[in-house]
Amino acid sequence: MALAAVVVLGAVVAWRLLAPGSPERTAAAVAAADPAPAQPGATTPRRSAPRPGQAIDELPNSDPNDLANYFRPGDPEPTGAELIGALHDVGIRTGIGAFNPPGTSPPLEGLAVPEDYELPEGYVRHHQSTDDGVAIEPILMFAPDFRLYDANGRPIAMPDSRVVPPELAPPGLPPRRVRIPPSGP
């Protein structure tokens, strides 16, 4: 019984000392994070971002992926194309660097596909958006592995873009083309 009481008491003391908001732990963390100045009235120097045009002697931190190493307060805000281009220049192809810069892959124009239209086998709806993020109505495309044949069983040449031209549209599809909305401000 005495052993159980000692174990419980030890657990309570450990919990109080190690709990995330305990006063003892909070006071110790504050003291460690904010040491007293060496002399009364002395302050610890703080690093600040360089002024525009000022030479940079060292990077703010050692993380080469931190944008703070490349852009400073007061610098003009980079465009998406500039940011992605800079990432590609240093070989970063993950995160936003996985995308092509805006304008390098323009949206495709093609036949509109109403949502209630049931697609026959071999056709797909292609959803896309502008560089500004505006959704574009889906267009009709051929599925990647689909082959179309004429009445004699010969393969019909497919467009490289796989966008279905009006003459190869499935029966019953209204022949309405999707127009790309203008982009930019």
Residues 6+ apart with CB under 8 A from 21: none
Distance CA 140, CA 125 (A): 5
- Of 148, 142, 176, the residue nearest 161 (C-alpha): 142
- How many residues are recorded in the chain? 185
Distances (CA, A) of 95 to 13, 23, 39, 149: 45, 41, 47, 42
Half-sphere exposure of 85 (CA within 13 A, CB side): 9
Dump pLDDT digits (tens) for 146-180: 999 999 999 999 999 999 999 999 999 999 999 88
pLDDT for 48: 47
Write down the pTM of the prediction: 0.52
The pLDDT of residue 96 is: 87
Mean pLDDT in each 10-residue stretch from start to end of the chain (185 residues)?
Answer: 52 50 46 48 46 55 76 83 88 89 89 96 95 91 95 95 96 93 69
